[in-house]
Amino acid sequence: MNQTFFNQYRTPILYSVMALLLVIVGVGQGWSVAFTILNLCLISAIMSLGVNMQWGYAGLFNVGVMGFAALGGLAAVLVSMPPVEEARAAGGQGVLVGLLILIATIFVSIVAWKQFGAKSKKTGYWMLFIIIAAGYALMRLFFLPSVEAIEGVNPSVTGYLGGLGLPIILSWPVGMLFAAGAAYVIGKVALGLRSDYLAIATLGISEIVLYFIKNEEWLTRGVKNVNGLPRPVPYEVDLQQAAWFQQLAADWGMELAEASSLFVKVCYAGLFIAVIAILMYLSETALKSPWGRMMRAIRDNEVAAAAMGKDVVKRHLTIFVIGSAVIGLAGAMLTTLDGQFTPVGYQPLRFTFLIWVMVIIGGSGNNWGAVLGGFFIWFFWIEAEPIGLWLVDTLTSFMEPTHWLRLHLMDSAAHMRLMTVGIVLLIALRYAPEGLIPERTARKH
Amino acid sequence: MTGGYGAADILKECTIGVDRGEIAVIVGPNGAGKSTAMKATFGMLPLREGHVMFDGEDISHLKPEERVVRGMGFVPQTHNVFTSMTVEENLEMGAFIREDDISDSIEQVFELFPILKEKRRQPAGELSGGQRQQVAVGRAMMTQPKVLLLDEPTAGVSPIVMDELFDRIIEIARTGVAILMVEQNAKQALEIADKGYVLVQGSNRFTDTGEALLANPDVRRSFLGG
Amino acid sequence: MTDFINALVVLSNFILVPALTYGSQLALGALGVTLVYGVLRFSNFAHGEMMAFGTMITIFGTWGLQALGVSIAPLPTALLALPLGIVGAVALSLFLDKTVYKYHRQRKASPVIFLIVSIGLMFFIGGLVRFIIGPGDQIFFDGTRFIFSARDFKRSTGLDEGLALKMTQAVTIITAIIVVAAMFWFLNKTRTGKSMRAFSDNENLALLSGINPDRVVMITWILVGALATIAGTLYGLDKSFKPFSFMQLLLPIFAAAIVGGVGNPLGAIAGGYVIAFSEIAVTFAYKKVVTYLGPDSFQPDSLVQLLGTDYKIAVSFIILVIVLIVRPTGIFSGKTL
């Protein structure tokens, strides 16, 4: 292939390659598998878009992607699950009072700080300490018994407050809000300091969010998981009984069960593609706007931008919050797709790292690159396991099936996957730091 | 024996040189390339043309560290001491390339700058501006250089301290060290200079003895403010 | 009066001794992070996994020695295998520096790029460790379990409460003291150590003084590899070796380094103990202590616990946030070694 031709049509060619890969899976492993991969690719792409906004537009390093995604997942539970009336009666009031005390404590602290902290920092700190200690003790007084009561209500099925019973689609914007709120707090603290403080602080917040959703059973059922979240798309059983669908399946020449499961996946894919399209439109518009130019100017030379009177920290905070909100959205979508909320599934660093690799391989600073990276990396992450197993199997085929080394290698293939991604990232950073689809206004080095 | 230099290009064919035991001063308006000339001499700036001669040898291809080994000492204008380390440690670090006993050299620096002896255990970052400059010069002296390059040694110190620093610099020159110095305070610097170079836009405008330059009406009018 | 002493014994047994132990482990870990920051100027996310790697090699050494029947009882055999682990970790560090970091250093890449590179290496080393030894728990402690047990203590003092000192705790604390002392002697008294400090303080001036940057970087990785292995092995002896737990140590270690002032070795040590004491003190259930100290026949209903043990990690984070808000440079406001 001609080099310049490739460069000129880089984006469509690479997207075609991706589509071809999915088609190959569809033909080889079945269309249902292909659409499962596609759906997760789409969600990865949205997360990758969010990270790209923070890293590609502004050079901010967020290590807490999974924490923000988990907040989105939490939103899905709280919005869509039916309320557990019994639990509300048992401890709802106590929890509410506890929360009110918490809010009051924060409010009083702020007022006290403004009153006393301005005059003398020392008195201010002591005041804060006393107020927070008192507020915390008071809150726990109401909180703990109620929590116990809630968790006692039919623990094997509910044991938590439940949600609002609203359509799950509504949780997507709510997930954005949750993630944005957490990002605002963490950004306020860590932005404007050294660049790696943000990384460490986001690592911290994501760990805490995950511990929170694992342990606060009254809210999330913790490790007992929340199953059976309502869906935004039809259920297979309903489809199978619908006359029009039976007709459709017959037309396709597929079995009813298979057709229904495929149909559901296609519905999800349609929804996700719509979301991606909107996001892409918005972020491309933003990137080309004066605002986007300013963001990149700040990224490329913070000092100069600050000298020109731009409030760098404030701009960074904006983009950090927006990027995290997009990650929260993706988190809510992921939980919607799964139909269940499994706090243990969010491995803070591991998946964060995967999203990062997506952005860097795809092309940091380029939205099309980030989306493509999301597709590629997720695809290979999923397909790497069978490939790796096959590889180990072939390479050790000369050994006896029970040879210790062969068994060890077969067992450890899963870890090889993570190691491989690490190596891929290192190689990309060294030999192709621009990524598959480089930023259009190429930075000169 | 001559320590002679010639640097060029970014500095348009500018020539500076200094002999053993002499003080040469580079003066000129802002942006004339004074500091650049000094950096070129020390090898911190690639030369496109011309060369740097040292002891009759072409050292243009050497890296700054290698020039230190050959006998050049350099005192940058800013960030010229290890702020978190004590005065004594600063001097020790100055002599890092030496394998022999350095206690004599430390004593010599302390003789030259007695105040440093008192503060030998204090971190250099806690010293006053003038004392810091003394540490910086002392640090560069520790390699027993044949030529010492000083980039605005009196920047940001009071006039009294400046006079004292100049006195010390004369003393150093008397021990046989060649001193090349860039200065903002042109008048005072030329007073102690054996040679003076007036640079304008990277080229030599006037070259003469310090005294003669001070007496030159053109120089006085344009660069010394009358 | 006896009540008071009993309360003190409870506090020592459940807070003081464990926190000193854990604090020593964190301090050694944070010291490694701080050294990398001071000299190479980035936050090394791969440090936790390097600890795991060094410990893994030490474990292999320990198993080898045990198979040969070598023992230094009552001390754990792992101490004898420690040098092997250090050599392994140092070799890996130097190899990775040469193959990975060096390229970015020559291009003068920004600290964030180094940070991302270190995360890539974190997964590489992590995968390597899990690949070789597996993700499971490994117990490699041998030798005497207790220097004195709670029962011994009760018998000899006649108190109701016991104070135990485990061999691993004593070994940890003593090793930490020795290592820290050696470290400070090296940094402050030797020419090489001083040249490291000089490089960390002012890189350009260090170059002008003829300090060889490659050598400084090499020595830094040697020290970091050694510190990581020692910290990891002590942690593994005290708790148990599980690759995952080293990933979890990352946040407390970073918190310790930042609280003390990143780049400042003294700060790293202080930070380690601050984090360890807060973590244990905040999540400790004070019921017994309150019972002893309160008026007679007073017994609190609850555990008198500020925060559930599950939230240990939150403590490091909260302290980190407070420091970032109040004094971002850390207690010892360090930037250089």
Which single residue is written with the structure tokens 């979890």? Answer: C248
Label residue B6 by pLDDT band (50, 70, 90). Answer: very low
- Residues A51-71, buried b or exposed e (16+ Cβ, 10 A)? bbbbbbbbbbbbbbbbbbbbb
Q: Write out the H or E segment, with its range, that includes residue B73.
A: strand B72-75
Which of C43, C112, C120 lies closest to A425 in CB terms?
C120
Residue A440 lies in a domain: no
Query: Would residue B222 count as lying in a domain?
Result: yes
pLDDT at A3 (0 to 100):
63
Q: What share of residues in chain B are helix, strand, coil (percent, to 5)?
A: 40, 20, 40
Q: What is the mean pLDDT of chain B?
A: 80
Instruction: Tell which of C108, C123, C306 to mutate to test the A interface (max A CBs under 10 Å).
Output: C123
| C116: pLDDT strictly greater than 80 | yes
CA distance C144 to C148: 10
For residues A179 and A265, membership in a common domain is answered with yes
The Cα angle at residue B135 between residues B132 and B136, in degrees rounded to 5: 90
The range of the structural domain enclosing residue A129 comes to: 84-161
CA distance C278 to C316: 8
Of the ranges A63-67, A288-292, B22-26, B184-188, which one carries the lowest mean pLDDT score?
B184-188
**pLDDT reading at A380 higher than 50:** yes
- Minimal C-alpha gap between B144 and chain C (Å): 12
Taking an 8 Å cut-off on Cβ atoms, the answer to whether A211 and C324 are in contact is no
Q: Do C198 and B80 touch (CB under 8 A)?
A: no
As given in the structure block, the two tokens for residue A132 are 């927070």
Please compute the mean of the pLDDT values over residues C213-219 and round it to a whole number: 92
User: How high is the pLDDT of residue C337?
Assistant: 61
The domain boundary, picked from A107, A128, A161, lies at A161
Model pLDDT, residue A1: 47
Given this model, what pLDDT does residue C336 score?
A: 58
Interchain CB distance below 8 Å, B96 and C337: no
Residue C81 near chain A (CB below 8 Å) = no
**Residue A443: per-residue pLDDT:** 44
**Are A238 and A287 part of one and the same domain?**
yes
Least confident stretch, A257-266, A429-438, B52-61, C133-142: B52-61
C316: pLDDT strictly greater than 50: yes
The pLDDT assigned to C133 comes to 87
pLDDT of residue A48: 93
Cβ C205–B83 below 8 Å, yes or no? no
Out of C191, C197, C204, closest to residue B84 by CB: C197
- Higher confidence at residue A225 or residue C237? C237
Touching A: C residues 48-67, CB under 8 Å: none
Token reading at A302: 């913070």
Nearest to A211 among C113, C314, C324 (CB): C314
pLDDT at A30 over 90: no
Tokens of C139: 């117990």
In tens, the pLDDT along A337-352 reads: 988 888 888 877 778 8
Say how many domains are in chain A. Answer: 2
Token reading at C251: 């946040």
Give C336's contacts in chain B (Cβ within 8 Å): 83-84
Q: Do chains C and A touch (3 or more CB pairs under 8 A)?
A: yes
Preferred mutation among A60, A419, A444 to probe C, highest tally of C CBs within 10 A:
A419
**Given this model, what pLDDT does residue C333 score?**
65
Q: Is the pLDDT of residue C319 over 50?
A: yes
| Predicted local distance difference test score (pLDDT) of residue A333 | 93
Q: Any alpha helices (H) in B43-148, and if so which ranges? A: 64-70, 87-94, 103-112, 114-118, 129-141
Using alpha carbons, select from A200, A225, A224 the residue that is nearest to residue A348: A200
Does residue B115 belong to any structural domain of this protein?
no
Q: Is residue B186 part of a domain?
A: yes
In Å, how far is C37's CA from the nearest CA of chain B?
16
Q: Which amino acid is at A302?
A: E
Q: What is the mean pLDDT of residues A272-289?
A: 91
- Please tell me the predicted confidence (pLDDT) of residue C252: 92
Cβ contact C280:C239 at 8 Å:
no
CA distance B85 to C38: 14
With an 8 Å Cβ cutoff, are C195 and B80 in contact? Answer: no
| Interface B:C, Cβ pairs < 8 A | 58
Instruction: Look at C208 and B74 and tell me if their CB atoms are within 8 Å.
Output: yes
Are C57 and C89 in contact by the 8 Å Cβ rule? The answer is yes
Residue B67 lies in a domain: yes
Would you kindly state where each structural domain of chain C is located, as residue ranges?
Answer: 2-326
Question: Residues near B108 by Cβ (< 8 Å), separated by ≥ 6?
Answer: B141
Closest-approach residue (CA) in chain C for A141: C302
Instruction: Give yes or no: residues A374 and A272 share one domain.
Output: yes
Banded model confidence at residue A110, pLDDT cuts 50, 70, 90: confident
- Contact check, Cβ <8 Å, C202/B83: yes
Find where tokens 């990352």 sit.
Answer: C250
Structural domain range at position B12: 1-71+149-156+182-226
**The 3-state secondary structure of chain C, one letter per residue:** CHHHHHHHHHHHHHHHHHHHHHHHHHHHHHHHHHHHHHHHCCCCCCHHHHHHHHHHHHHHHHHHHHHHCCCCCCCCCHHHHHHHHHHHHHHHHHHHHHHHHHHHHHCCCCHHHHHHHHHHHHHHHHHHHHHHHCCCCECCCCCCCEEECHHHHHHHHCCCCCCCEEHHHHHHHHHHHHHHHHHHHHHHHCHHHHHHHHHHHCHHHHHHCCCCHHHHHHHHHHHHHHHHHHHHHHHHHHCCECHHHHHHCHHHHHHHHHHHCCCCHHHHHHHHHHHHHHHHHHHCECHHHHHHHCCCCCCCCCCCECCCHHHHHHHHHHHHHHHHHHCCCCCCCCCCC
pLDDT range class, residue B10, cuts 50, 70, 90: low
- What burial class does residue B203 get, using C-beta atoms within 10 Å of its C-beta: 0-12 exposed, 13-18 middle, 19+ buried? middle
**How far apart are alpha carbons A444 and B30 in whole angstroms?**
30
Whether residue C136 lies within 8 A of chain A, CB to CB, comes out as: no
Residues A13 and A51 both lie in one domain: yes
Task: Calculate how close chain C gets to A100, using CA atoms only, in Å.
Answer: 19
| Structural domain includes residue B173 | no
Mean pLDDT of C35-50: 92
Q: What is the pLDDT of residue C328?
A: 79
Q: Are residues A95 and A69 part of one domain?
A: no
**Is A88 contained in some domain?**
yes
Q: How confident is the model at residue C55 (pLDDT cuts 50, 70, 90)?
A: very high
Do A196 and A270 lie in a common domain?
Answer: yes
- Residue B5's pLDDT band (cuts 50, 70, 90): very low
Listed ranges A427-441, B20-34, B37-51, C155-169; the one with the highest mean pLDDT: C155-169
Chain B hits for C219, Cβ within 8 Å: none
Q: Quick check: helix, strand or coil at residue A338?
A: helix
Residues from C in contact with B at Cβ < 8 Å: 191, 194-195, 197-198, 201-202, 204-211, 336-337
Q: Output the pLDDT for position B3.
A: 39
Q: Are A64 and A137 part of one and the same domain?
A: no
A63 φ/ψ angles, rounded to the nearest 5 degrees: -95, 0
A69-73, A313-317, C141-145, C250-254: least confidently modelled range:
C141-145
Asked which of A161, A187, A219 is the last residue of a domain, the reply is A161
Nearest-by-Cβ selection for B85 from C191, C201, C204: C201
pLDDT for C278: 92
The radius of gyration of chain C from alpha carbons, rounded to an integer in Å, stands at 21
Residue C209 Cα, gap to closest chain A Cα (Å): 29
Higher pLDDT, C128 or A443: C128
B76 to chain C: which residues are within 8 Å by CB? 204-205, 208
Better-scored residue on pLDDT, A367 or C337: A367
- Note whether A191 and A309 are same-domain residues: yes
Determine the pLDDT at residue A315.
Answer: 87
User: Is residue A9 located within the same domain as residue A121?
Assistant: no
- In this structure, of A156-170, C84-98, C106-120, C274-288, the range with the lowest mean pLDDT score is A156-170
Q: For residue A377, give the nearest of A387, A362, A366 by alpha carbon.
A: A362
Total number of domains in chain B: 1
Structure tokens at C113: 């790029």
Please give the mean pLDDT across all residues of chain A.
84
Q: Which CATH number fits domain C2-326: 1.10.3470, 2.40.30, 1.20.1070, 3.30.1050?
A: 1.10.3470
A-C interface: how many C-beta pairs under 8 angstroms? Answer: 125
Question: pLDDT category, C63, cuts 50, 70, 90?
Answer: very high
Most confident of A356-360, C83-87, C285-289: C83-87
* pLDDT score recorded for residue A441: 57
Contact B64, C212 (CB under 8 A): no
Judged against a pLDDT cut of 50, whether residue C221 lies above it is answered with yes
The β-bridge partners of B51 are B6
Residue-level pLDDT at C36: 93
For residues A205 and A268, membership in a common domain is answered with yes
Using the Cα atoms of residue C238, residue C239, residue C245 and residue C248 in order, give the sign of their dihedral. Answer: negative
Measured over the CA atoms of residue A87, residue A90, residue A92 and residue A96, the dihedral's sign is negative
Whether residues A127 and A151 share a domain: the answer is: yes
Is residue A444 a part of any domain in this protein? no
CATH number at residue B59: 3.40.50.300
* Residues of C whose CB is below 8 A from B80: 205
Residues A142 and A184 placed together within one structural domain of the fold = no
Domain limit, last residue, from A136, A161, A186: A161
More confident residue, B46 or A132: A132
B56 or A231: which leads in pLDDT: A231
Q: What pLDDT is stored for residue A176 in this prediction?
A: 95
- The answer as to whether A126 is a domain residue is yes
Q: How confident is the model at residue C95 (pLDDT cuts 50, 70, 90)?
A: very high
Domain membership of residue A438 (yes or no) is no
